Structure 1
Amino acid sequence: MKLHHLAVPVMAALSVMTTAYAQTYPNKPIRIIVPFAPGGTTDIVARVVGDKLGKELGQAVVIENRGGGGGSIGATAIAKADPDGYTLGISTVSTHAVNAACNPKLGYNPLTDFAPITNLARTPNVLTVNPKFPAQDFKQYLEHVKKSPGKLNYATSGTCSIQHIVGEQFKLATGTFILHIPYRGAGPALNDLLGGQVDMMFDNLPSSMSHIQAGKLRPLAIAWNKRLDALPNVPTFAELGLPQVNDPAWYGLVAPPKTPDDIIKKINAAAVKVLAMPEVRERLKQSGAEPVGNSPAEHAAEIQAELDKMKTVVKKQNIKFDGS
């Protein structure tokens, strides 16, 4: 009985210690692991938010890129980091839904090995081609693709990435056959698309937007709920009769499991405040992203819903992770 009576004060003491720790947090730099190479949308969103987040929390925020495995290498590093609030990471549809749905040997569970903090931003996906590609609009593009089965290819940030799934959804919806060329991140894939080494890409809009605006890439369709003000002449996939390809991407902020709730709440409050800043909203908008800033519970529900959806897609299309 004495041991039972001791349990209450011990738990109370632990609670006080956790709260005190959260009050002094952070007292050293924080790193945010981006599970993809520099230059892609995940990297852009992390850097736009990370700079202001550091100022809001009073410590430097350092971005660490760990690409490879369609995001799984970086995501595993986030999941296995110390739960002290000093290592955070970016959650994406690729890392927390697509990868988990198609790779049975994944080193983490997206539902139990992370503490969701908030959804930072949503972005449209966009189908782009190199300007030398012989099509000015989507109709001409589709005609060309249908005449060239297996002769054209599309670049992605890796096998079992969101770009891969969108590409496979597109092939299924249109009855076409395009070769998949996986890279170690969206940045390297974009470089080869710009150089003409690959034909097309189903990319997240922010990483392609500056190249589109510079005339170095030609956008043919976007996955979004409406046409974008920045690209008024580019139709949505839904408009084109392809609603199954019309899903946007998202980029969240997560911590390792067992990170104290008080710290999660503190980071969430700071991130939500940052995402409400006009200059942050404008920078994200210019990149083609829409700020979100929801609760930890809401982001957890998004991860669950996306995982369920991707499991269905992967099973239907028999997509297998090949380690690339």
Structure 2
Amino acid sequence: MSTKFAAVALAGSIAAVFSGTAAHAADNYPDKPIRVIVPFAPGGSTDIVARIVTQEMSKILGQTMVVENKGGAGGAIGAQEAARAKPDGYTLSIATVSTMAVNKACRPDDLPYDPLKDFVAVTNFANVPNVIEVNPKFPAKNFEEFLKVLKDNPGKYSYGSSGTCGVLHLFGEAFKLATGADIMHVPYKGSGPAVTDAVGGQIEVLFDNLPSSMAQIQAGNLRPMAIAWNKRLDALKDVPTLEEVGYPQLNQPAWYGLLAPAGTPEPILNKLHEAAAQALKTPQVIEALQKQGAEPSGNSPAEFAKEIQEQYDWAHDVVKKGNIKLE
């Protein structure tokens, strides 16, 4: 056998070995616990949705899915760690509009990961309304009064978000652009701490995803002014949508989905998608999400990738038009 043909044969043998190893790994997947990075602090909407769905997925997959919170920098710290993980299906992460769209729009040159290249979409777990809410001491009972107070008192009030250049920061800045209100941004390391300070009165206004605020709203500790959703919610029948109050451009919900690092074998991705889709059809998961104001999705990887791309384009457009900069 010539040296050339021997080299080709050896390369083929090596490829076959690796192919067989990968197939074997996929067949046995998962055979140990799966780490799921949530790129925000505990208690926020991302954390709540992730725990509801992954708990059920654990039962289906036969292995524990361990949620690990890695907050900071608008979700960039956790997303960066997830992007660098080994693509073997044992380190996954939760996608948000912040991590997959807004961060890149705000940090085009120095974001330490590429949202569109470093990950592969598995599925959208749930779509979630955004909400504008106030501390009960704020002198407004409805959206019209709320906006009047802000406009009559430029620069007096502060609003909190889950982090600088996160989607809720962009939501707040888009609100300012659309309404002409002058209100100061106070960033937090996740929605959980922001909700705590809004309830405590350290900030007067909060732009949030509904799940992380729902319990406090229902307890009367926060007062919703309007929601970003396609209809009024049964749980909040008196709260109008932003389209109803004249701001359809702000009426965009959020979503939370599952990602794997780029290069993860397709059989593993298929197993994860099947488990997530099954979990999202179980009555207990549907009920738990709906109690938080979230609607389950479970769409295909291609459909979720399309949603990510659309939000990526939207965020870049808003940041450019608003000349929004990192604070």
- Bin for the TM-score computed over the shorter chain: over 0.9
Q: Which one of 182, 201, 204 corresponds to residue 196 of structure 1?
A: 201
Contact between 1:100 and 1:110, CA under 8 Å: does it hold in 2?
yes
Distance, in Å, in 2 between the alignment partners of 1:201 and 1:244 is 19
Distance between the aligned counterparts of 1:107 and 1:237, measured in 2?
34
- Corresponding residue for 2:27? 23
**Equivalent in 283, 288, 298 of residue 293 of structure 1:** 298
Please name the residue that 1:77 is paired with: 81
Matching of residue 87 in structure 1 with residue 96 in structure 2: no
SS at match of 1:230: helix
1:175 is matched with 180
**Matches of 1:190 and 1:163 in 2, distance apart?**
13
Task: Encode CA deviations 1:164-203: one digit per residue, 9 max, x unaligned.
Answer: 0110111111111110000111111111000001011110
Letter in 1 for 2:299: N
Higher mean C-alpha deviation, range 289-298 or range 6-15: 6-15
Report the alpha carbon displacement of residue 296 of structure 1 after superposing the two structures with TM: 1.3
Matched residue of 2:236: which SS?
coil
- Aligned partners of 1:178 and 1:30: how far apart in 2? 42
Structure 1 alignment gaps of length 5 or more: none
> In the alignment, what sits opposite 2:217?
212
The partner residue of 1:97 within 82, 94, 101 is 101
Selected match of 1:112 from 100, 113, 117: 117
User: 1:13 deviation in Å?
Assistant: 4.0
Whole-Å Cα distance in 2 between the matches of residues 240 and 268 of structure 1?
38
Give CA-to-partner distance per residue, 1:206-237, whole Å, 9 cap, x none: 00111111111101100001111111111000
Amino acid at match of 1:23: D
1:250-285 CA-to-partner distances (Å, cap 9, x unmatched) read 001001111111111111100100001010000000
Bigger mean CA offset, 123-132 vs 291-300: 291-300
Tell me the secondary structure at the aligned position of residue 198 of structure 1. Answer: coil
The letter for the 2-side match of 1:25 is Y
Partner of residue 186, structure 1? 191
Most deviating of 8-17 and 24-33 = 8-17
Taking the aligned partners of 2:11 and 2:290, their CA distance within structure 1 comes to 51
The one-letter code matched in structure 2 to 1:201 is L
Q: Pick from 278, 289, 295 the counterpart of residue 273 of structure 1.
A: 278
Aligned residue type for 1:280: V
Counterparts of residues 233-248 of structure 1 (less than 5 Å): 233-248=238-253
In 1, distance between residues paired with 2:326 and 2:140?
Answer: 32
Q: Find the aligned partners of 1:6 and 1:295 in 2 and give their Cα distance.
A: 38
Cα shift at 1:11? 3.8
Q: Tell whether 2:122 aligns with 1:121.
A: no
Task: After TM superposition, give the deviation of residue 14 of structure 1 in Å.
Answer: 3.2
Equivalent position of 2:311 in the other structure:
306
Number of residue pairs the alignment of both structures matches: 322
- Residue identity in the other structure for 2:297: V
Q: Which residue of the partner structure matches residue 60 of structure 2? A: 56
- Conserved in 2, the CA contact under 8 Å of 1:116 and 1:300? yes
For 1:85 and 1:6, the matched residues in 2 are separated by 29
Which moves more between the two structures, 1-10 or 160-169?
1-10
Question: 1:283 & 1:121 partners in 2: Cα distance?
Answer: 11
TM-score, normalisation: structure 2: 0.96
CA distance in 1, matches of 2:23, 2:236: 48
User: Is the 1:150–1:178 Cα contact (8 Å) retained in structure 2?
Assistant: yes
Shift of 1:59: 0.8
Unaligned stretches of 5+ residues in structure 2: none
CA deviations 1:86-133 (Å, max 9, x no partner) are 111000000000011111311000000012111000100011101111
CA distance, structure 2, for counterparts of residue 223 and residue 289 of structure 1: 12
Question: Secondary structure in 1 aligned to 2:234?
Answer: coil
Q: Does residue 165 of structure 1 match 2:170? A: yes
CA–CA distance in structure 2, aligned partners of residues 290 and 93 of structure 1: 16
Task: Give CA-to-partner distance per residue, 1:24-50, whole Å, 9 cap, x none.
Answer: 111111111000000100000011011
The CA deviation at 1:17 is 2.3
Contact 1:18-1:262 within 8 A present in 2 as well: no
Counterpart-to-counterpart distance in 1, 2:151 and 2:39: 34
